[in-house]
Structure 1
C-alpha cells in the first residue's frame, strides 16, 4: 500500500536520507524544514498525508510545539518522533503529547519501515494512544454507528447493555473493525458520558515505557525522570480508560493492571503508597486471549477479571450487507468535508466491485479507499476506475477505459441492492445457475430470484430453495454455520438438503452426481 509520508527535519542531509528510505519502501515523501512549514504542508495536502516523521529539535517551531499545534487543530495523523538527544523523559513527553512511536537517530531502514507500517495500521481519523479528554467533537453515539447486518445490530445491543453498568468489557475483533468506536459509544451511553475518555494503544508503546505511561512516575524514579508525571489511569479518574491491543501488555505490567481492576488502586513508579482511582475499564484485542493465556503470554487471573462482558465484532467480509450502507455514508461524509460543488454518488458497477472485495483491513481499509476516491473524484459519480488497487485484487473482471466493469459468469460479485427509501439492503442479486431461473417477465428485476419459469408458471418450491441455497453458499463463502443461520435452518438440515439437491458446498455451482 502506497502512503504519503511527511518528513519534518531541519537537517538537509537527514531529510535526504529519510526521503530515500521512504521511497525505497514504496511510499511518497513530502519534506518540511520545521514545524511551521509542516503545518503549511498539512494545510495544502492534509488529506493525503498518512504518517508524519517528526524531529524534535528544530528552529522556529520545534517538535513539541508542532505536536501541540496538531492537538489544537484536532489533527490525528500518527506521528513518529525522531530523537537524537535527550533520554527517556524526552520520549515520555513526546508520547504524552500525542506521538505514536519514536525512532532513534540514525534510524535504520528496517526500523523506519516497521514504524511506518505500524502507523498505517491505525485509523487515521480517530485519536490513537492520545491521552486527551473526550471532546464534544469526539463523542460517538450508538445511533452514529452505520450498519445493516444482524451481527452488528447484536453488537450494538450488547454495547447498550454494557453501558448501563461499570462491568469490565473486552471488545474482540480484527484490526479495523471499529472496536474504539464501540468503546466510545459505550462511554457516551453511560453515566460517565461527561467524564474523561482516555485511549491507549498498548501495542504502540515501547515495553520499557508501558508502566510509566499507564501508572505515571515520580520525579527521580529513574534516570531521566526530571519531573513528576501522572499516568493514563490517573488522567481517566472518574471516566473511562480504553486499552487497545491489551494482549501486547508485558507480563510484569499485567500484575499492576490486575490490582487496578481488583482494588481500584494504581502504583505510581517511585511512589511510596498506592493511589485510589475510579476508572471504568474497556479493553480491546485482535488476539485470541485464551491462546495467549495457554502459551503463558497473558495472565489467567487477569483474563478472567477483564473478560466479564466480551463483545465480538465480526470482520467486514462476514457482514457484506454493511458494505453498501458504509460506502454511501463515507462518500457523503468525505464529499462534505471536501466541500464538493455537487453531490457524489457511486455507480452500481463500483458498488459491486467494493462488495466483492473481502477487505482484509476491514472498515478502516474501506474508509481509506473511499476517502482517496472522493479526494481524486473527477465527476459526480465514482466508478470502478476510481478504485484501481481494489480492482486488481478482485478476480474475474476487466475495467474499460470508461470505468465500466465486466465479470466472468462464474466469478461475478454478489452485491446487495438497497431500498431507495431506507438505504438498507433489500434484495440480493440472482444467483443464476439453471435455465429455469430465467424470468419470463420482462419487467422482472435482474437482481431477484425469479418466481416464474420460462413458461410463465410459478416455479416449484424445491427449485427456488435449491437456487437460494446455492446463492447463500457463494455469498457467505461456504461458511456453513452462517449459511444455516441466515436461512433459518439447522446445520444438519442444511447438510441433508445439500445431499438431496446434489450441491457441493465447496463449489455450489458444480453439479454433484
Structure 2
C-alpha cells in the first residue's frame, strides 16, 4: 500500500483491554477508510493475530493475561512482514523501547490522535511494500543472471562457467579480462547473483566513460560545496554498494591519481568523500574488468602494480567469440528471442541455413555484442519468418566475396606475397577494421597498407 492507495485494502487489528480506547480508534480508522477488527480480551487478540489477512497490528503494551510484547512475538511468528504498532503510557517507555528491539515498527504514547496513528500505519505499509519490491527485484536479478545465462556449448566457455561457479561464493576480488564485447558485464552480474552478497546491491560504473574528477566523485562521493556544482551531499558508489558488489568496468583506463585513492580504499576498507574530513567504513566485493593488457600497462607505468595485484584475486579470461564458435547458434537464438520481445510486430522467428552459415563463419571482431546487434537488425529488417543473409549487416554478407586464404599447400611463395595474404586474412578476421588489424598484428597502419599492396616502397 502507498500513500495514494485505498485504505480499504488494509485490515487493521486493534487490541486493547480498554473498550473505550478500542472503540475510539476503530471509529477513527474506519472513517479514514480502513477495515478494522478489534479485540478487548487476550483470547480474541491471539485468535485474530493468527489471521494472515491482518495487515497491521495495533496493540496496547500492557493487557491482562497477554501483553503487547507476547502479542508482538506471536504476530512475528505468524506473519513476519506484518507491521506492529505498540501503544503505551508514559511510564512504560522502557518496555516500549524493548518492543522496538523485538521488531515493533513504532510506539505511540497515550493519548494520541488517530491522525498520528494513520501516519505511522501508512509509513509502515510503505516500508513493507518497499522491502517486498526489493526482494522481488533481487529474485528477478538472480533469475535473469542464472548460470544458464552464460551460454557454454564451447569448451572455452565451459571452463569460464566452471570457474565462475567456484569463485562466486568466495569473497575475494575478481578481475575479468577479455576483448570489448565478450560479455564481461554479464559474468560480473552472474558472480554477484550467485555469491554470498546476492541480497545486497549490485552497482556498476564504467571507469572509461567519465573524466577523472567526475569519476572520483561518483566512486567516493562528495560533500556540498566541495567543488563547483556540488549543490548537495552525495554518498558515492562505494557507499551505495555497501554489503554488495561494486563492478568497476574498464578499470585499465583509470587515471593514475585515482588508482592511488582506489588502492587506499581497498586496503583500509574506508572511504572519504571529496571535500570531507570524515571517513566511512564500507564492505563491498570488487569485481573489475578490462580489455587492456594490464601487465603491459604496469610495465609502461600507466597502471599501478600493487593495485593490479589487489584487484586480481582471481582472474577470469573471457574468450572472444571467434574462439567459441560452438556457442554462436545458441547465442543467436537467444538474441532472436530477445529482439522479438522488443519488436512485437517482427515476423522473423528463425534463420535460414545460409544466414546461419554466415553467422557461424564470420570473424566477429565486435564479439558477442556485435552478434547481438546483427541479430536485432535481421529481426527488424526481415520480411518473412526466416531471416536470410541479406538481412544481416553488410560486413558479414560481404565477407565471402573478399575472403582471404593463408593455406599455401606445398607452394613456396615470396615473403611479400606471404605478407599480403596474411594481412588480408587478418583484416577479414576483424571485419575489415584496419585499426584492430594493426593492433592484432603489432604493426602500424602504414605497414599494413604496404603489406596489402605488396609494395617495397
Identify whether the pair has TM-score above 0.5, normalized to the shorter chain: yes
Write out per-residue CA displacement over residues 336-365 of structure 1, whole angstroms, 9 at most, x where no aligned residue: 332357661111111111111111110001
Counterpart of 1:255 (choices 257, 260, 268) is 260
CA contact (8 A) 2:382 2:388 kept: no
Matched, 1:284 2:300: no
Q: Deviations over 1:279-326 (max 9, x none)?
A: 010000000111111111111111111111000001001111111111
User: Is 1:384 matched with 2:393?
Assistant: no
Q: How far does residue 392 in structure 1 lie from its aligned partner after superposition? A: 4.5
Structure 1, unmatched stretches of 5+, are 1-132, 398-407, 412-430, 434-476, 479-513
Corresponding residue to 1:151 among 140, 153, 156: 156
- Structure 2 residue 299 is the aligned partner of structure 1 residue 299: no
Does the CA contact (< 8 Å) of 1:199 and 1:243 recur in 2?
A: yes
Distance in 2 (alpha carbons) for counterparts of 1:155 and 1:247? 21
Q: Does residue 1:176 correspond to 2:181, yes or no?
A: yes
Instruction: Return closer, same or farther for 1:218/1:375 CA change in 2, 3 Å cut-off.
Output: same
State the 1:209 CA deviation.
1.2
Residues 112-156 of structure 1 show CA distances to partners (whole Å, capped at 9, x for unaligned) of xxxxxxxxxxxxxxxxxxxxx975554411112223111111111
* Aligned residue in 2 for 1:351: 356
Query: Within the alignment, does 1:363 sit opposite 2:368 as a pair?
Result: yes
TM-score if structure 1 supplies the norm length?
0.50
State whether residues 373 and 387 of structure 1, in contact with CA within 8 Å, keep that contact through their aligned partners in structure 2.
yes
Mapped pair 1:264 → 2:269? yes
> Contact 1:197 / 1:242 at 8 angstroms: preserved in 2?
yes
Question: Does the CA-based 8 Å contact 1:134-1:197 persist in structure 2?
Answer: no
Contact 2:389–2:397, Cα closer than 8 Å, also in 1 = no
In 2, Cα distance between the equivalents of 1:212 and 1:299? 21
Quick one: distance in 1 between partners of 2:330 and 2:228? 53
Between the aligned partners of 1:294 and 1:134, the Cα distance in structure 2 is: 43
From 192, 199, 204, give the equivalent of 1:194: 199
Q: Secondary structure at the match of 2:283?
A: coil
In the other structure, the counterpart of 1:214 is: 219
In structure 1, how many angstroms separate the alpha carbons of the residues matched to 2:275 and 2:157?
A: 44
Segment drifting more, 199-208 vs 384-393: 384-393
String of CA shifts for 1:45-92, please: whole Å, max 9, x gaps. xxxxxxxxxxxxxxxxxxxxxxxxxxxxxxxxxxxxxxxxxxxxxxxx
Q: 1:240 to 1:134 in 2, by over 3 A?
A: farther
> Deviation string for 1:83-120 (max 9, x for gaps)?
xxxxxxxxxxxxxxxxxxxxxxxxxxxxxxxxxxxxxx
Mapped to 2, the partners of 1:135 and 1:364 lie a distance apart of: 25
1:391 to 1:211, Cα distance in 2 relative to 1, 3 A: closer
The Cα shift of 1:388 comes to: 4.1
- The structure with the largest alpha-carbon Rg is 2
Aligned-partner Cα distance in 2 for 1:208–1:333: 37
- Normalising by the residue count of structure 2, what TM-score does the alignment of the two structures yield? 0.56
**1:339 corresponds to which of 331, 340, 344:** 344
> Shift of residue 252 of structure 1?
1.2
